[in-house]
Amino acid sequence: MSKVEEYIEKHQKWSEALSIIRNVILETELEEQIKWGAPVYALNGKNVLGLAAFKNHFGIWFFQGVFLKDELNLLQNSNEKTKALRQMRFTSLEVINTNAIKNYVLEAIENQRQGREIKPSKVKKVVFSEELKLALKEDQSFNEAFQKLSMSKQNEYANHISEAKRNATKLSRIEKIKPLVLSGAGLHDKYKNC
C-alpha cells in the first residue's frame, strides 16, 4: 500500500470520495507524492495541487489557484492572507463532479507549464519585541541558537512573541520557545514534518 493510499484509508469518512478524486488526478501527468503529511501532485517538481481531508470536509488545494478561471465558482480562498492558494471544498460524496474537477486540474497543469505563479514575498528583516531582545541579550546560549536559525524561523518566533498583547504573555512565550530554539527547531516544525 502506498503512502497516499494509507492517507486515504486513514480518513475513513472521506476515503471513497478521496479515491474518486485521486483517480481523476492520476489520469493526468502529475507526479504523486506525500508532502506535509498529505497527497501532493506536481509537474516537473513544482507543486500543482494537493488533497486534504478534515473532520467536516475534504478537498483539493490548488497551489496557484488564483489563476484558475473558476467559471463554476467552485473555488474559495482559504483565508484573507492567502494570495495564490485556492481550495475546492466538498462536504459529501454526492457533490463531486469529476468532469469539473478534471477541467480545473488540466487548467492548473497548463498554468504551471506557462509558469504562472505568485511567489511568496521574502521576509527581509526580523522585528524583535523588547522582551525578546532582552532575553537574547541575557542568555548567550539562547542568542547563539537563535542566530543559527533560518530567517524564516527567526521571524516565526519573533512574530509569535510580538503578537502577544500583555508583557506577561510575551515573557511566558519566550520561556516556552527556548527549548525549541536551543534544539534548532522552528515554531511550526511539528506540522511541517508530517
Q: At what angle do helices 130-138 and 167-182 cross, to 10 degrees?
A: 40
The whole domain housing 137 covers 130-192
Q: What is the pLDDT of residue 82?
A: 80
Alpha-carbon distance of 38 to 15, in angstroms, equals 13
Alpha-carbon distance of 142 to 118, in angstroms, equals 35
Identify the weakest region by mean pLDDT among 73-82, 84-93, 160-169: 73-82
Say if 123 falls within a structural domain.
Answer: no
Say if 32 falls within a structural domain.
Answer: yes
Say if 103 falls within a structural domain.
Answer: yes
93 shares a domain with 41: yes
82 phi and psi angles, rounded to 5 deg = -70, 130
- Name the amino acid, one letter, at 161: I
What average pLDDT score do residues 39-63 get? 95
- pLDDT, tens only, 94-131: 999 999 999 999 999 999 999 999 887 665 567 788 99
At 143, is the secondary structure helix, strand, or coil?
Answer: helix
Q: What residue spans of 27-124 are helical by DSSP H?
A: 98-113
* pLDDT for 192 beyond 70: no
CATH for 84 = 3.90.1150.200
Q: What is the mean pLDDT of the chain?
A: 91
**Residue 43 has which C-alpha cell?**
509537474
Beta carbons within 8 Å of 102's beta carbon, 6+ residues apart: 24, 27, 28
Residue 83 confidence class, pLDDT cut points 50, 70, 90 = confident
Say if 118 falls within a structural domain.
Answer: no
Q: What is the pLDDT of residue 62?
A: 96
106 shares a domain with 14: yes
Percent of the chain with pLDDT over 70: 95
146 shares a domain with 80: no
